[in-house]
Amino acid sequence: MIKHILKLIWSQFRSNTWVLAELLVVFVVLWFMTDYFLMQGVLMHRPVGYKLDNVYQAVVSLRSSDNPSFIEYEEGSEEPMRNLERIVERIRQHPDVEVVGLSYYSLPYTHSNIGNGVWRDSTRLNIRYMLVSPDYFRVFGIGSILGGSPEELGAKLPGMKNTTDIVISAGIAETLFGRTDVIGSELYSGGDSVPRHIVAVTEPVRNDEYSIGHRHVAFGLFSLPELAGEEEMVEEDLTNVQITFRTRPGIASADYAGKFLREMKRQLMAGNLWVSDIRSYQKVRADYLANSPETGSRKLFSALGAFFLVNVFLAVIGTFWFRVRRRRSELGLRMAVGSSRSGIQGLMIGEGLLLLTLAMLPALLVCLNLVWMDVLSTTVMAAGVGRFLTVSLLTWSVLAFVIFLATWYPSRKASRLEPAEALHYE
């Protein structure tokens, strides 16, 4: 069958040349688009490292200074810090709350973060430095890469105060050491001349599903008294302290955040500080991704991809429809000498798929050159043999499906003609 189709293609080489050229160009463009969407899919399905079910954020605000109830504190007073601690403790004592965590510019699905750098030998990394309380790991369900629980991981933080110890993510360990079992190893942070000792390695964590660079994360102990004791700190800075909490299983509901805020409104006021909003972290994630520039880019590329596929389908179906109509006399002759209707239909579809396969061979050479010239992004995955073969197979499959649809209907319609009627086209 294949040998016979090859003879047919060769006998109509001049007309098939344009079809092959069209399929070659389409294959290369679609190959590049398939690679982009495949890498985006791989990135989106990699674990972020945060368990967001039953997690809520309490947003702390400061009463306006022109408010009659505004309290003016003496300079250096610890009362503002005590007020924040009171709010945290009242949330912790609520019967629905399992654990409360504090952090400073260290929440996922946010644009704000603290930057730092670490290095080992000649390899340097820009990292996200996260200041968190020990219970932060319990709130977000972050465990050790070696299988330790969030509680065990959080227990490492209190002993790190004023020491050279450091907790790093699996992303840093893999990049700097090529492995994750690096507890006890050393690296340097920032401009330090004294090495830091790795006391724990967390599971892979990153800011969001689109994030690549933010998978390099190190954790430090957040201390509210130390923050309040900074010389230039003002009461407004306390609103930057991030309060998150996890409720007990089975408690959360669609309207739980609003219900919690209404129930605790008076208790969540202390001095000039008050909790202005309770947010479900699932909603925080949804809002962040919906407004992310990467989401807009994906929608744009998806629209362009859909537009391209529609045009490819119309071009291919037009080409093969014309080919089938032009060869009605040949099909009539085949039926007259005994070819079945299914055989005629299979011949047309097989010819289209074989043309695609022939066009794929030079197209793959073009795609190999794209890989060789480093046109492809390697931030998600190295441009290796596995990636090349996967993208090539997916591209062929998509085009094969389009060609099948483009040839099935006209070939089916042609095969339904009576042989005598088809021979009239001769």
Q: State the average pLDDT over residues 220-227.
A: 81
Which tens digit of pLDDT belongs to each residue from 117-166? 888 888 888 889 999 999 999 999 999 998 888 998 888 887 766 567 88
Q: How confident is the model at residue 6 (pLDDT cuts 50, 70, 90)?
A: low
Judge if pTM exceeds 0.75: yes
Q: How confident is the model at residue 414 (pLDDT cuts 50, 70, 90)?
A: low
DSSP 292: -
Q: What is the dihedral of CA 261, 267, 272, 277, to 10 degrees?
A: -10
Tell me how far apart the alpha carbons of residues 29 and 367 are, in angstroms, rounded to a whole number: 9
pLDDT at 55: 95
Kind of pairing between the strands at 269-270 and 273-280: antiparallel
pLDDT at 212: 72
Phi, psi for residue 242 in degrees, rounded to 5 = -100, 120
pLDDT at 301: 81
3-state helix, strand, coil in the chain (%, to 5): 50, 15, 30
Q: How confident is the model at residue 54 (pLDDT cuts 50, 70, 90)?
A: very high
Residue 359 parent element (H or E) = helix 341-372
Among 6-10, 22-26, 400-404, whose mean pLDDT is lowest?
6-10
DSSP 160: G
Residue 81 parent element (H or E) = helix 79-92
Site of tokens 């793959």: 364
Among 41-45, 264-268, 311-315, whose mean pLDDT is lowest?
311-315
